[in-house]
Structure 1
Amino acid sequence: MLKKYILFAALTALCGTVSLQAETLNVANLGALPDDGIDDTEALRKAVQFCKENPNTVLEIPAGIYRLRDEAAVQLEQDAMSSKMGRSTEPIIYTAYYPYAKGLDFTGTKNLTIEAKGATLMCEGWMEPISLDNCENITIKGLTIDYKNKPFSDGEITTVEDEAFEAVFNDERELTEKTPFLRAIFWQKDEDRMWPHPVYFPEIEKVEGKKVRFKTKIDKSLLGAGIGVIHSFHFRPAILILRSSQVTLNDVTIHAQPGMGIVGFLSRDITMNRLSVVPSEGHILSSNTDATHFASCSGTIRFDGCKFQGHQDDATNVHGYYQTIMEVNGEKARLGITHQAFTHAQV
């Protein structure tokens, strides 16, 4: 009887060990192949669903470019770029619970490692590329996030007059008088740094192809300088970390985002090792607003060896919120956030 008990205990321990072993899934097995020009969204989302249903997964994304496209996100980008929502989209799309597209939604995933060294998600449409909501013990390694159509335009100043200047932009897409030019920054090539005086809402006089004439006065020393103009202010982040814990980003790069780079909200213990929010080659801008932003978090938020350049607001913010007592019932109170801007996660 004792021998049988020992054998049963050994088998039970063995089975328990096997169940905790990590499963490995390569996105190529689901049809996501890099650099083939084919939309990889469906295959990548199938991989995400597998990770949700199978804790302790190692998700392999081989090096190369993967297309991540969402039709609702594409429509939003088109509406924003044609000023259908007004000159600035922020009062509409950066509001509480405004519907938005999630590229890869990992909500509820536990114990996941994403091995993505050299892999780039090339986003099509204004979206939230990576959503980590109610997640635990997530590690992302080596992933890059970029956009096919940047949420900004950049180029070079070719003419500076007393009350106007002209610039030629690098965009492949068409620029028109309806294109929202919200804030212009200037890059001093000889100093390799940003000019300290941006121009908000520069007035557009004429657009001819890639050449834009601005009816705005700037310093004449900026002739030949680089120029970058964002087409949105706040929207969704490239990576949302919401109600999650033990999230680690190793060697993650964000080249562009029509909003912030990373937003953490109501989360605990976030580590960023060698995070880079920087422009891609040939560009001078990265995220359209903050590179990172953390609110109402706990535990430790750690930056180690990170690099920030070209982001159009703070490198990071860490804060809480003032809350309003909405209702008192005995010893209990219901609190709410009544500030017009709500939370930076907007959820």
Structure 2
Amino acid sequence: MTNSKLWIISILLLLNYPVLFANQIISVADFGLKPDSRVNSVPYVRKALEACRKQPGSTLFFPKGRYDFWPQYTVEREYFESNTTDNNPKTLAVLLDSLHNFTLDGNGSSFVMHGRMQPITLDHCSDINLKGFTIDWDIPLTSQAKVLKVTPDYFEIEINTHESPYIIENNNLVFVGEGWKSKLWSIMEFTSDTHLVAPNTGDRIGWRNYHAEEVSPGIVRLSDPSVAAFYPKEGNWLVLRHNERDHAGIFLYHSQRINLEQIDVYHSCGLGILSQYSQDLSFNKVRVVPNASKNRILSGHDDGFHFMGCGGFIRIEECEWAGLMDDPVNIHGTCVRIVEILSPTRIKCKFMHEQSQGMEWGRKNEKVGFIENQSMRTLGTGTMTSFEPLNKSEFIVEFQAPVPNSLKVGAALENLSCTADVEIRNSFFGSCRARGLLVSTPGKVIIENNIFESSGSAILIAGDANQWYESGAVKDVLIRNNTFRYPCMSSVYQFCEAVISIFPEIPKPDIRYPFHSNIRIENNKFYLFDYPILYAKSVDGLSFVNNTLIRDTTYQPFHYRKDGITLDACRKVIISGNRAEGNVLGKTIRLHDMKPGDLKLRNESFFQLRNKP
């Protein structure tokens, strides 16, 4: 080989030249699948994936266009998915099963689903890169309508019948799709101009006892005298919730080192992207937002990104959420209740929430925390030697050493091995039905340079072993350089006590045993139309420092809390260096069940203590 050729090859190696030295590229076109053909893509993609399995390090490439996925030829498999209705088996459009070192490159293509199905599933995979595609339905599992007319007795809405076919059945509005039908059970109202959740509407209307009648094709009249005072505003948009959550959009299960980038999930049958018992996950420029090209207000059926029992490191960068019917991001574990102590080392447990039943809660050598559920105090830890399912609801766990003598029936177990460090940066939490970010993990958490427009609390740090059984006392959380815009806390939802709400469910708080610890809220901007800024319960080590508080008058204040900061059974709290612009309402601090000296006000010119501990 000549020196010139060697020189060229050396330069190409340095540049990581994509043609000569790329991994094997396998196109779906090689198997007869053409974009925009509207044929069922499922069997073609299955064949292409089998070819990729034989070529480690390969890329499955889609020529840009539309690809339709129908239930025929899909794989059906039983999965017990967290926070998801147990409708099994799940219908899987694209299944990556025990696949490693693989890239799926959509090249900007649209993946369009038909019927109730899970678009993409990763089961026991590693080193996977998913990129460059959108997920949507022509007939979504949620609907929307424009409010045409409002009177004291009824209001009329206009429905796009091509996108959301419906019938009137027993005076109920019932939507019909590709192999399913479901009736309206809840309504969310969005403003006509900003597409934000209309202020002070939220979950206050149940819509279980309404009366529906068709005025003309696509025009439906709804009436319910019991909620007539809460009829929507003429011209606004309604998201009509009718189906149940039974499939995720993308499901990451027992997988590791997974990267998602430049993906738009416009809709899903349930949670947008569910990661369960997976670790080392990266999300870059992934959006769960309405499909603007279809004039949609709605996006996902429920949460945007949902993480249950995940470990390692979770990185979320430059992502976006809007129009969801639940929280953009929720990170947590699952507590289970002790129903019987069989021996000093064997415990019978039960999943207490119906949407957690059937999960593989633990594995050998994983670390478990023993939680006294009234005070939420951790009594000790143990190491599992076995996990034995008895049925979907109950299982037996055995430990290397005897459990604490103080552990009683009714207490809870928490899997401490399935927890993650988290970084969320440069992302946009748009207006959705509930809160913005829920985080419950003892790992290191950084929430930085994000924008929040959540209709409820922007950030909720919860945790409980009594109702939702979502576990994870935080130990190290930094909330820094974020912007909380005026839509935050414009409606009240569960646990939404302030823009930042630290609200573990503790029946009997004990100041000696705080649940959360080491939370720092620094150098953020809050645009506030109402009073409550921060609510914190049972925290050891909390600081609210050098934040800028700016009065906004877009909405009228309505919240029942009239203090800017409320502290309940907290220790080692520092409030320092915060400054206000304009007539910010929440000037006072209220304390509950705290000792003298638990709060330090340092160089603080804005906040004033309302009551002494």
1:319 to 2:332 alignment: yes
Name the CA shift for 1:337/1:258 in 2 (closer, same or farther; >3 Å).
same
Q: Secondary structure at the match of 2:49?
A: helix
Could you tell me how far 1:143 is from its partner in structure 2?
1.5
> Does the 8 Å CA contact 1:288/1:311 hold for their aligned counterparts?
yes
8 Å contact kept, 1:233–1:289? no
Distance 1:200 1:142, change over 3 A: farther
The alignment status of 1:107 with 2:94, answered yes or no, reads: no
Q: Greater helix percent: which structure?
A: 1
Q: Indicate the SS of the match to 2:235.
A: coil
Aligned partner of 1:189 in structure 2 is 192
Question: In structure 2, do the counterparts of structure 1 residues 157 and 264 end up closer, same or farther at CA, with 3 Å as the change threshold?
Answer: same
Please state how far the C-alpha of 1:337 moved relative to its aligned partner. Answer: 4.7
Q: Residue in 2 aligned with 1:10?
A: none
For 1:158 and 1:103, the matched residues in 2 are separated by: 38
Q: Alpha-carbon deviation of 1:28?
A: 0.9
Measured against aligned partners, the alpha-carbon deviations of 1:196-238 in whole angstroms (never above 9, x if no partner) come to 4243335242134211211133656710111221222321110
Aligned 8 A contact 1:101 1:127 in 2: yes
What's the secondary structure of 2:50's corresponding residue? Answer: helix
Match of 2:269 in 1: 258
Aligned to 1:3: none
Cα deviation for residue 151 of structure 1 reads 0.9
- CA shift at 1:165, angstroms? 0.9
Q: CA, structure 1 residues 136+333, in 2 after alignment: closer, same or farther (shift >3 Å)?
A: farther
CA distance in 1, matches of 2:150, 2:332: 42
Which has the higher Rg, Structure 1 or Structure 2?
2
Mean alpha-carbon deviation: is it higher for 258-267 or for 195-204?
195-204
Tell me which of 200, 203, 208 is aligned to 2:206. 200
What are the superposed Cα offsets for residues 26-56 of structure 1, whole Å, 9 maximum, x if unpaired? 0111122111222222111212233344331
Letter in 2 for 1:293: H
- Structure 2: which 5+ residue stretches go unaligned? 1-20, 75-83, 175-182, 361-613
In structure 2, the residue matched to 1:279 is 290
Which one of the candidate residues 230, 245, 251 is aligned to 2:241? 230
What amino acid maps onto 1:301 in structure 2? I
Tell me the residue number matched to 1:244. Answer: 255
The correspondence for 1:289, drawn from 292, 302, 316, is 302
Q: Which runs of 4+ in 1 moved over 4 A?
A: 218-221, 324-337, 344-347
TM-score for the superposition, normalised by structure 2: 0.47
Give the structure with the higher percent strand.
2
Partner of 1:341: 354
Question: In structure 2, how many angstroms separate the alpha carbons of the residues matched to 1:181 and 1:36?
Answer: 34
Q: 1:301 aligns with which of 292, 314, 323?
A: 314
Partner of 2:155: 165
Contact persistence 2:189–2:232 (CA under 8 A): no
Counterpart CA distance in 1 for 2:64 and 2:358 is: 30
Higher relative contact order (CA 8 A, sep 6+): 1
Per mean C-alpha deviation after superposition, the further-off stretch among 172-181 and 56-65 is 172-181
CA shift at 1:155, angstroms?
A: 2.4
Change (3 A) 1:321 1:220: closer
Task: Using the TM superposition, give the Cα deviation of residue 177 of structure 1 relative to its aligned residue in structure 2, in angstroms.
Answer: 2.0
Whether the 8 Å contact between 2:189 and 2:238 is mirrored in structure 1 is yes
1:177 to 152, 164, 168: 168
Contact 2:40 2:69 in 1 (8 A): yes
Q: Which amino acid aligns with 2:315?
A: R
Could you tell me how far apart the structure 2 residues matched to 1:205 and 1:324 are?
Answer: 43
Q: How far apart in 2 are the matches of 1:204 and 1:115?
A: 47
Give the residue type in structure 2 aligned to 1:175.
Y
Q: Percent of counterpart pairs with the same letter? A: 24
**C-alpha distance after superposition, 1:159-191 (max 9, x if no partner):** 111132110011315311241112211221234
How far apart are the structure 1 equivalents of 2:98 and 2:58? 13
> Would you say 1:209 and 2:217 are equivalent positions?
yes
SS in 2 for 1:184: strand
Report the 3-state secondary structure (helix = DSSP H, G, I; strand = E; otherwise coil) of the residue aligned with 1:50: helix
Deviation at residue 328 of structure 1 after TM alignment: 7.2
